[in-house]
């Protein structure tokens, strides 16, 4: 028997799992086909992606993160996360279940784990978040010198600022109230006033690219599975 309360709890946990490239929850993107927990605490999650040939490293990260997320839910005794309709599904599903890591899952094909890739995407998320936070400030008249002096704590609270703080924290970058608002996403060094215009242009392009790719993925998933284009969080 499936527990409705358990399924809602699983979706909440899966809402913390993000597509690493798009920096959006897999629930909001519609990647969670089902999430069920029995009264005995056995969990089965099915994931689906926009295409059969989605990059296996991205797919692996989402399946592994989903497994970790649901395994930590109170009352879960056993977890199984299944990626459906993907060319590397068997290797990914078996590897995640065995906790083999990416290299172990693709023995003879992969040479590195995915920490570096995850960090690269987090840096892009920081840049996209920088545009989201700074755009209203620029529209209100903030100059490059103003922005270079601004600290995180001096920015009006918003969901975008909270998200930027979290991404910076995940990268080990300063994100407290006294931290500079503008930092180089690899080193964490403050951005000098003369560097602000270029930094903001890069942030804008990064955000535009992420938004465009998110729209493309939603459309491809909708076409592939004949869905209404909504994820679990939109319903």
pLDDT tens for the chain, 235 residues long, are 555 557 899 999 999 999 999 999 999 999 999 999 998 999 999 999 999 999 999 999 999 999 999 999 999 999 999 999 999 999 999 999 999 999 999 999 998 999 999 999 999 999 999 999 999 999 999 999 999 999 999 999 999 999 999 999 999 999 999 999 999 999 999 999 999 999 999 999 999 999 999 999 999 999 999 875 444 444 3
Are the beta carbons of 202 and 127 closer than 8 angstroms?
Answer: yes
Residue 227 lies in a domain: no
Helix H or strand E encompassing 138 = helix 115-139
Question: What is the number of structural domains in the chain?
Answer: 2
Same domain, 107 and 163: no
- Report how far residue 182's alpha carbon sits from residue 22's, in angstroms, rounded to the nearest whole number: 22
Q: What is the pTM of this model?
A: 0.91
Query: Which residues span the domain enclosing 25?
Result: 4-112
32 closest CA partner among 2, 69, 5: 69
Same domain, 108 and 170: no
Same domain, 154 and 95: no
Residue 85 lies in a domain: yes
Same domain, 124 and 70: no
Please name the residues in contact with 159: beta carbons below 8 A apart, sequence gap of 6 or more: none
Same domain, 106 and 150: no
């Amino acid at each position: 028997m499936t527990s409705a309360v358990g399924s809602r709890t699983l979706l909440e946990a899966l809402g913390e799992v993000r597509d690493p490239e798009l920096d959006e929850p897999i629930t909001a993107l519609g990647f969670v086909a089902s999430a069920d927990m029995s009264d005995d605490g056995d969990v089965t999650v099915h994931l689906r992606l926009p295409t059969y040939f989605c990059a296996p490293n991205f797919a692996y990260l989402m399946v592994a993160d989903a497994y970790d997320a649901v395994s930590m839910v109170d009352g879960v005794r056993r977890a199984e996360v299944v990626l459906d309709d993907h060319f590397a599904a068997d290797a990914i599903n078996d590897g995640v279940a065995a906790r083999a890591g990416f290299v172990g899952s693709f023995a003879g094909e992969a040479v590195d784990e995915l920490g570096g890739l995850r960090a690269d995407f987090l840096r892009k998320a920081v840049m996209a978040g920088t545009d989201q936070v700074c755009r209203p400030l620029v529209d209100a008249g903030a100059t490059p010198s103003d922005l270079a002096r601004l600290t995180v704590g001096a920015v009006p609270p918003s969901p975008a600022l909270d998200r930027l703080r979290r991404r910076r924290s995940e990268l080990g970058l300063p994100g407290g109230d006294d931290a500079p608002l503008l930092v180089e996403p690899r080193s964490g060094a403050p951005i000098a006033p003369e560097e602000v215009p270029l930094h903001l242009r890069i942030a804008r392009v990064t955000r535009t690219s992420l938004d465009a790719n998110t729209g493309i993925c939603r459309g491809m998933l909708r076409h592939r599975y004949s869905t209404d284009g909504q994820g679990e969080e939109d319903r």
